[in-house]
Structure 1
Amino acid sequence: MTNSPELPDSTPTIADPAGAPSGPQGALDSGTFDRILEPRSPRRLPLGDGTWHQLARSYVWVRLISLALFLAVVLVAAFVLALLTRTAWPWIPGGVLSAGIVWAAAITPRQARAFGYQLRSDDLVFRRGILWQRMVAVPYGRMQLVDITHGPLDRAFGIAQLKLVTAAAATGVVIPGLTQDAAEHLRDTLIDVAEARRTGL
């Protein structure tokens, strides 16, 4: 794939012209998946040209552990309710919820590899989804806030979530499962470019 065009000299550089990250830019691809998984349908949303960056591999473990803890809570709650009521009905919703959690855990590895983001000359493009695909382009000049959050489990695995807030709520983007280095580097880069675009540099 060809790389996206360079930004003008007066704007902070987003992508390396050779297509491979170098220096601080390499933080975006350290510890991540190597390629985006696409749906097999010929009517899928095309990736297009440019360099796509992906989530950290450890994001899958964080999701699986979170789902396992949620499953444990559901099973314990169903067991306690069954004891208190001395009936089996709590196992019906508990079983439905458990089946949904197991299904979510089964598709998590493939789902994580469907996430991707691309830094173009004028905007950031974010894509996600296998069955329900979404692709959003966020112009740099429309960004109002770039926020990084991470919980205890995220910190244990060295990942973070980056949220982009724009004037239009529908175009807001949340990129989960970035390495902390990638999240910080991406935040600083986007803030610099957004400020440059708003001031007309």
Structure 2
Amino acid sequence: MTNTPETDPTTGPTSAAPTPNADNAAPVLDERTFTGIPQPRSDRRLPLGDGTWHQLARSYVWVRLISVTALLVIVLAAAVVLSLVSQAPWPWVPGGVAAVVLAWTALITPRQARSFGYQLRADDLVFRRGILWQRMVAVPYGRMQLVDITHGPLDRAFGIAQLRLVTAAASTGVVIPGLTQDAAERLRDTLIAVAETRRTGL
């Protein structure tokens, strides 16, 4: 569902106010991304509401799986070394628990990655995540103080980046992981431009 072109910050000041959800608004935000946000079956779930939701890059799942697998290998290797050094089986207790947690994390990673979404509304950016434990936060454009892009070596290898929004209130800060680099740069430029406009009252 889309809104009228008057309120889209991604298309520029084509009218009195921008609209984030026009059909032609920032198609780069949806390149190589997931196409649907899974929701809990309960009727008491947080509703998605109207408007267009943008999601993370599909390659974000591979980055997460590689990171979790590498950590799992390190944990198992540490358990083996400690067991051999101490000549006792006790290192396998914490090592086994950690291995189970990491294996479960890897198992739910694809569905978890699909639960992330963000929406550009007339006055704020709405970010949501989670399936069992849901979180939805709205960040007013005028309250944004810093929009930061970070990406590590593994992120760069898969062409993704992390966008961090900083506001005066720490509780309303948002980190959007797993954006394509083009989407992260486009979103950063859009948010900075809109935030400056809102702060100056234009």
Please say whether Structure 1 and Structure 2 have the same fold, judged by a TM-score greater than 0.5.
yes
- Match of 1:192, as an amino acid? A
Distance in structure 2 (CA, Å) of the matches to 1:101 and 1:165: 30
Highest relative contact order (Cα 8 Å, sep 6+), 1 or 2? 1
Report if the CA contact (8 A) 2:141-2:194 is conserved: yes
Report if the CA contact (8 A) 2:146-2:165 is conserved: yes
- Match of 1:67, as an amino acid? V
Residue 182 of structure 2 corresponds to: 181
Q: Does 1:132 align with 2:133?
A: yes
Using a 3 Å threshold, how does the CA distance of structure 1 residues 10 and 192 change in structure 2: closer, same or farther? farther
Task: Report the Cα offset of residue 35 of structure 1.
Answer: 1.0
Residue 103 of structure 2 corresponds to: 102
**What's the % identity of the aligned pairs?**
73
Residue 154 of structure 1 corresponds to: 155
Secondary structure of 2:145's aligned partner: strand
- Match of 1:191, as an amino acid? I
Residue 171 of structure 1 corresponds to: 172
Using a 3 Å threshold, how does the CA distance of structure 1 residues 74 and 198 change in structure 2: closer, same or farther? same
Residue 116 of structure 1 corresponds to: 117
Using a 3 Å threshold, how does the CA distance of structure 1 residues 4 and 32 change in structure 2: closer, same or farther? farther
Structural RMSD (CA):
1.4
Distance in structure 1 (CA, Å) of the matches to 2:5 and 2:133: 29
Using a 3 Å threshold, how does the CA distance of structure 1 residues 49 and 4 change in structure 2: closer, same or farther? farther
- Match of 2:6, as an amino acid? E
- Match of 2:73, as an amino acid? A
What TM-score results when the alignment is normalised by the length of structure 1? Answer: 0.94
Q: Does 1:3 align with 2:8?
A: no
Q: Does 1:15 align with 2:31?
A: no
Task: Report the Cα offset of residue 14 of structure 1.
Answer: 4.7
Distance in structure 1 (CA, Å) of the matches to 2:134 and 2:4: 22
What TM-score results when the alignment is normalised by the length of structure 2? Answer: 0.93
Point out where structure 2 has 5 or more consecutive residues left out of the alignment: 8-12
Report if the CA contact (8 A) 2:21-2:52 is conserved: no
Task: Report the Cα offset of residue 3 of structure 1.
Answer: 3.0
Task: Report the Cα offset of residue 128 of structure 1.
Answer: 0.2
- Match of 2:20, as an amino acid? A
- Match of 2:63, as an amino acid? V
Q: Does 1:83 align with 2:84?
A: yes
Task: Report the Cα offset of residue 40 of structure 1.
Answer: 1.0
Residue 145 of structure 2 corresponds to: 144
- Match of 1:6, as an amino acid? E
Distance in structure 2 (CA, Å) of the matches to 1:172 and 1:5: 27
Distance in structure 1 (CA, Å) of the matches to 2:193 and 2:87: 62
State the number of aligned residues. 196
